[in-house]
Amino acid sequence: MNSAEIRQQFLDFFASKQHQVVPSAPIVVKDDPTLMFINSGMAPFKDYFLGNKPAPYKRIADTQKCLRVSGKHNDLEEVGYDTYHHTMFEMLGNWSFGDYFKKDALEWSWELLTQVYKLPKDRLYVSVFQGDKSENLPMDQDAYDIWKSMIAEDRILMGSKKDNFWEMGDTGPCGPCSEIHVDLRTDEERAQVDGKTLVNNDHPQVVEIWNNVFMEFNRLADGSLVKLPAQHVDTGMGFERLCMAIQGKRSNYDTDVFQPLIQYVAKEAGVTYGENEKTDIAIRVISDHIRAIAFTIADGQLPSNNKAGYVIRRILRRAVRYGFTFLDFKKPFLYKLTEVLAEQTAHVFPELKQQLGFVQRVIEEEENAFLRTLENGLKRLDALEDKFKQNGNVIDGKNAFELYDTFGFPLDLTALIAREKGFTVDEAGFATEMEQQKNRSRNASATEQSDWVILKPDVTTEFVGYDCNVVDSHIVRYRQVKGKNKSEYQIVLDRTPFYAESGGQVGDTGYLISDSEQVEVLDTKKENDLILHITAKLPQNVEAGFSSEIDIERRNYIRKNHSATHLLHAALRKVLGEHVQQKGSLVNEKVLRFDFSHFAKVEEAQLREIEHIVNERVRQSIPLEEQRNMPIAEAKDMGATALFGEKYGEYVRVIAFDREHSVELCGGTHVYNTGEIGYFKIVSESSVAAGVRRIEAITAKAAEEFVQAQLDELHAVREVLNTQSNVSGAVEKLQEDNKALQKQLEQFELKQLSSLKDALAKNAQQLDGINLVAEKVDVSSSDYLKKLAFDMRQVVDNLVLVLAAEIDGKPQIAVMLSDNLVQDKNMNASQMVRELAKEIKGGGGGQPFYATAGGKDAAGLNAVPGKAVELVKQMIKA
């Protein structure tokens, strides 16, 4: 049975048990500050477990893309070395929200594994929670009794809180769980060692494949447990491990999930997979990592130096350096794998194939950039060789960490290169530097949240901000959040006009006003489906009634910019082509920023056309057409643009300004007709990443002020040029005059340089057959200093030339030697200039016959000629 059939049988089985099969959520998380990526099958359903919103179905089944590379679930460094850890993986799951509980969940899991998938019962073990006295939690007798009716009791194992009590995080829903493990060892191995002794002991062939979690409790911030109002089931089965078990393999990487990728990499590298441990590990790393890289980019997360983007860049660089070090890939290669992966997953995750060209372009550019970084890191190692030799052939921890932090060199790569050079690495020192960085990061980002104080249980927030700017509200819940040097409150209301930051649009600000006080709302954010009103203080009477009032002037500017973004998107697609897809946006009261897929700079003429189209739509005063709660299939049929990486429900909001031109799925706030935008002006176009461009623009008052500022500047230029009409002609005349003067000045300087050369040649000192010229000179540029040195070389034999000059306020030194002195006397200009550079607190280098140096202390130039004489005398004596 191939992997596609295994996945489909799971979904079909639970569909037959009245589960609604839903698609995978994007792997990149938005609107949840606690997660960067979906790291478990339950993550997309957190709101249902937390009670923030009702579940659309009582029973759900799915396969969810997950990523585990940071935080509590960090498998990155194990990936490739063992057979069953991955960065990106699929989690098959079935869910019950207040419907069935332990009996159905466990019986169905057993039925699917043993009757549908035909896994041998004598290879399966199950575990149940043994209880925990410190938490006053009893043994899960119910789960034990259910299993006892299906499996021999000696195959039911007791599990500790660590293994059999599942928790979402430090706080939140949790409960006992029951795991199913499979023993994939040979019969001979099983006869020698009882499989039950290997469960949860990191044995590569005795692995957990399914976990049934029974959500019964909520963990509070003080560590206590309270019963949830309803009981839920949360299950997760590792798809890759399941395929290993069903296909009779001893490694996830031997299944058809990975083999197409593995064989492609092996062919590209010219090696055979399975013959060499080092190349096998590298191939596994690459085959695993490309899945994480490709799907996160397809879901909207570009590699970068911050947060989630940094995680993706780190995974990509890990894959590149394994290929670089062990497979001799010195040119980009990862991007080629995406085509294999896209074809393999098109039936279940079509988003990758739909964006294949874009994803490939991003990955290839990232590979090129990192290969250049690797080269620079190797140069850095070469430059520090002398220092390491003086340090007993040891690369100290600080420099090893610099290579890691700045150049992306993991410790094992630095150690590998060090061994080739006969060095060792101070690994303890590296570990100290790493820990210090982690502490700095933890201290900078650490926050402490109190438990929610719930005033109105089971009350959810009604957002009325599309229709109202002011509304009567009551506080439903609140909590305090403490961070570094900051304390704030997060308040949830029963009704609110405040738009929470989402989809690129910033959150509203405003006030909560009661009879006795006014509390400023500093920002509005979304945590899953909760709308959080951020305040610096808590109202004195939290049970009072409030008038919730947004800053309407600020909101109006935001609305204008957001609607202009939609018009810009449509204009870009019309001018540049249908390949243009939104890749990010920022909409606030001052500016709109729009990132989009395009592989070339947008030309000036194209920008003018785009700007003209948008302003034409503005002048037409096109009315807003808004459709709320439209079935998503119907929205797509009418041509609504859906964004890759966004999670949409069954019902969506559609925003249209003339259906022929601009129809998008959008939850933001908008003008009622395009005429409100007033005027649209593009202020910049730039590159963000490979294949991604960015346009920044302004509207309304900001655009008017921008144009007026440009006119004021033009007026000032006219005043300076003393012309009121042909400004460009006057500027061209000024440039021509400047060129003519520059040419005259250059001829004058060259004449002076020739005179200086003659004077220096006459003043050469005779030292044992060497003609030494060591002088401080006055030249206007580094180019002239170099020309003077090479001209002197043509007219003076046996020359040692040392020139010191202050150029643009900075000290510079040049050393020139005749070829015969380099060859016969073993003199070296590079060594000389490094010694002389100490006088100006600088450094330099170059070739044996010519070298230069710069520094910080121009006052030291006066000492350079004298020191040059002493150096030459020492060389003669030697």
User: 70-74, 380-384, 728-732, 757-761 — which one is most confidently predicted on average?
Assistant: 757-761
- Pairwise CA distance, residues 15 & 614, whole Å: 47
Q: Position of tokens 């194209």?
A: 606
Specify the pLDDT at position 788.
92
- Pairwise CA distance, residues 425 & 433, whole Å: 13
Q: Report the share of the chain in percent with pLDDT over 70.
A: 98
Q: What is the pLDDT of residues 241-275, one digit of tens each?
A: 999 999 999 999 999 999 999 999 999 999 999 99
Choice between 616 and 877, residue whose per-residue pLDDT is larger = 616
Can you give the three-state secondary structure of 87-119, one letter per residue? CEEEEEEEEEECCCCHHHHHHHHHHHHHHHCCC
Q: How confident is the model at residue 725 (pLDDT cuts 50, 70, 90)?
A: confident
Specify the pLDDT at position 77.
66
**Chain centre distance of CA 222:** 33
Residue (of 403, 415, 412, 405) closest to 378 by Cα position: 403
pLDDT at position 70 over 80: no
User: What tokens were used for 763?
Assistant: 């003043």
Q: What is the pLDDT of residues 549-591, one digit of tens each?
A: 999 999 999 999 999 999 999 999 999 998 999 999 999 999 9
| Phi, psi values for residue 821, rounded to 5° | -70, -35
If you average pLDDT over every residue of the chain, what do you get?
91
- Pairwise CA distance, residues 629 & 820, whole Å: 87
Specify the pLDDT at position 314.
86
Specify the pLDDT at position 661.
75
User: What tokens were used for 13?
Assistant: 């089985």
Specify the pLDDT at position 81.
81
Q: Position of tokens 């405003």?
A: 510
pLDDT at position 74 over 70: no
Q: What is the pLDDT of residues 139-193, one digit of tens each?
A: 999 999 999 999 999 999 999 999 999 987 788 889 999 999 999 999 999 999 9
- Pairwise CA distance, residues 136 & 149, whole Å: 27
Q: Kind and range of the H or E element at 786?
A: helix 782-795
> Cβ distance 106 to 178 under 8 Å?
yes
Specify the pLDDT at position 82.
79
Q: How confident is the model at residue 71 (pLDDT cuts 50, 70, 90)?
A: very low
- Name the least confident of 9-13, 506-510, 706-710: 706-710
- Name the least confident of 196-205, 647-656, 668-677: 647-656
Strands 59-67 and 20-21: parallel
Q: How confident is the model at residue 445 (pLDDT cuts 50, 70, 90)?
A: low
Residue 268 exposure: Cα atoms within 13 Å on the Cβ side = 24
pLDDT at position 444 over 70: no
Angle between helical axes of 700-721 and 552-576 (0-180°, round to 10): 70
Q: Position of tokens 């490939």?
A: 360
- Name the least confident of 203-217, 291-305, 626-640, 850-864: 626-640
**Chain centre distance of CA 798:** 59
Q: Tell me the three state secondary structure of residue 752.
A: helix
Specify the pLDDT at position 405.
79
Cα distances (angstroms) measured from residue 733 to each of 715, 719, 743, 852: 18, 16, 16, 39
Specify the pLDDT at position 441.
66
Specify the pLDDT at position 447.
66
Choice between 65 and 377, residue whose per-residue pLDDT is larger = 65
One-letter amino acid for residue 853 of the chain? A
User: What tokens were used for 14?
Assistant: 């639970």
Which residues share a beta bridge with 664?
A: 641, 655
pLDDT at position 416 over 80: no
- Pairwise CA distance, residues 364 & 266, whole Å: 19
Q: What is the pLDDT of residues 395-408, one digit of tens each?
A: 988 988 888 877 77
Mean pLDDT of 689-717: 92
